[in-house]
Structures are given as C-alpha cells and as structure tokens.
Structure 1
C-alpha cells in the first residue's frame, strides 16, 4: 500500500469551501485526459455515492466510491471516499478530503490518499499518475474556492 498527501492553502473560510464542494467542482477538477463524466454525485456525506466514467479512447471504465465518513467542526471539515469499483488494478482506494482552518478567513485543503493494487511494482507504476491526478487540482482549488483571486 502507498500513501501520500497534497496540501493547498485557500483564502476562504471552511464554510465557503464546504458549500462549493459540489458536482460542478468535481468536474472542474478533472484533468483534460482522460475525459471524465459524472454518472452520479450524491454529495459529501456518509453513505453518499459518487460514480465516474473514465473515457480511455478505446474503452470506458467506471470508478465508484462510497463516502464512508464525514465530520464538521469549527476548525475542520472532512469526508472520506472509499473505492467500491476501481480501474487500473486497484484493490484499495481511500481519499480523505480535509479542509482545515489555518486562520480567520483562510484554510488548507489536504488530500490524503492511500491505495493498493496488491502488486508492489504496479503500485509504484501507478503512483505518478495517481499523485498527478490530485496535484493537478491545486490551481483549480485556488481559483474556484478562494475569495481573493490567487493569480
């Protein structure tokens, strides 16, 4: 199993960020390739389901996740999506989406990922792709979630 985290500072309070964590944001966060379409988005609460269809030119694959936990306090909001049906030989996927207050009017998004294919070589082969998929989100988080223009 491999784990990693990526952190992005946001110039907005937690409540603002939480309101904008929607299906629209998920689609904006998707990279241009492979193309992703959203088949189902219940939300970010426990027992919600998210289903994506990934178009790999010659085939389409489904990635579905179940929200297994969510919690909201004054200083932090998070939810965990657990892979149910995953492509690329993945047997385990867990993504904890954390939004942590850093000061009044500012927070930090922390994406904590754990995944496993059950084959160490394949884990390391997929790591750059899976890391890049989350790292790609950083400028979009800042653009769409910050109250001040980060550019």
Structure 2
C-alpha cells in the first residue's frame, strides 16, 4: 500500500535537502520515540529508533541521488515493529518556484492484504503531521 504526502516549504530546494539531518529527524519524531542511532541520509547510513513498549525500528538508507532541481533518498526497513513486513520510504525534495516541495512516498505491507488495508489509516495519520512539521521547521529557511 502507498502513502504520498506533500509539503510546500520556504527555502532553496538544495538547502532544504541538505537539512535532512539529525536535528530535523529529531524534530519529526513522535512523542515517546527515542533516536538510538542516526548516521545520515546517504546510502549505507542507518537510522535506529525505539518506541514505547520497547518496539524498535531500524532502517537503512539504500539510495540517494541529487540532480537538476530534485534530490531524494530512500530508507528501507531492516527491523520493523507491529507486524510490518515491508517498508520503503522515499524522501523527495523538488525545486518549486521560489521554494521547495517535500514529498514523502511510503510503500508498506503487513504481509496480508486485509491487515495492510486496516493498517493504512493508522500509518497515514501517524505521518500526516509531517506536512505541518515541515512547514514549521522550514518557516525561516
């Protein structure tokens, strides 16, 4: 199943892309989550989280690329909580007029079509705040 969220933010697209660092990641964390490891947003980097009830989430950055007016990186789940079987999260930044557009493209599976469909609204609502969080974070960029 796929979730796509878009945020128009202030700032040069290249500066916005370079700001995908530990500080931004910590800003985006949901309440109760702890960042155990953050290597960065380049291929081979690892991001490791712990959520309440001792749930862990570890992702590996498998791709990163920058070209004319667009850059992205992809994280893929290595250790996933709550029965998730597959996680592929693309973080795109595009030049958009005088600012930038951030797109989160998430593809996930619970390994069962019905469970995946039932999980969709919860994951969508979990990531929806990023639309406003990005706007707030990049307000003075």
- Find the aligned partners of 1:96 and 1:106 in 2 and give their Cα distance: 20
Work out the CA distance in 2 between the residues paired with 1:138 and 1:129.
16
| Alpha-carbon shift at residue 98 of structure 1 (Å) | 0.2
Question: Post-superposition shift, 1:109?
Answer: 0.3
Whole-Å separation in 2 of the counterparts to 1:110 and 1:60: 29
Partner-residue secondary structure (3-state), 2:134: helix
Take 1:6 and 1:143, find their aligned partners in 2: how far apart are those partners? 16
Question: Is 1:113 aligned to 2:113, yes or no?
Answer: no
> Are the aligned partners of 1:20 and 1:145 in contact in 2 as well (CA < 8 Å)?
no
Task: Give the equivalent residue in structure 1 for 2:22.
Answer: 23
Q: Normalising to structure 1: TM-score of the pair?
A: 0.88
SS of aligned partner of 1:62: strand
Q: TM-score, normalised by structure 2?
A: 0.94
**Structure 1 consecutive aligned stretches of length 4 or more whose deviation exceeds 2 Å:** none
Q: Distance in 1 between matches of 2:122 and 2:26?
A: 18
The residue number in structure 2 matching 1:39 is 36
Post-superposition offset of 1:107: 1.0
Number of aligned positions between the proteins: 141
Tell me how far apart the structure 2 counterparts of residues 71 and 16 of structure 1 sit (CA, whole Å). 15
Unaligned runs of 5+ in 2: none
Q: Aligned partners of 1:43 and 1:85: how far apart in 2?
A: 18
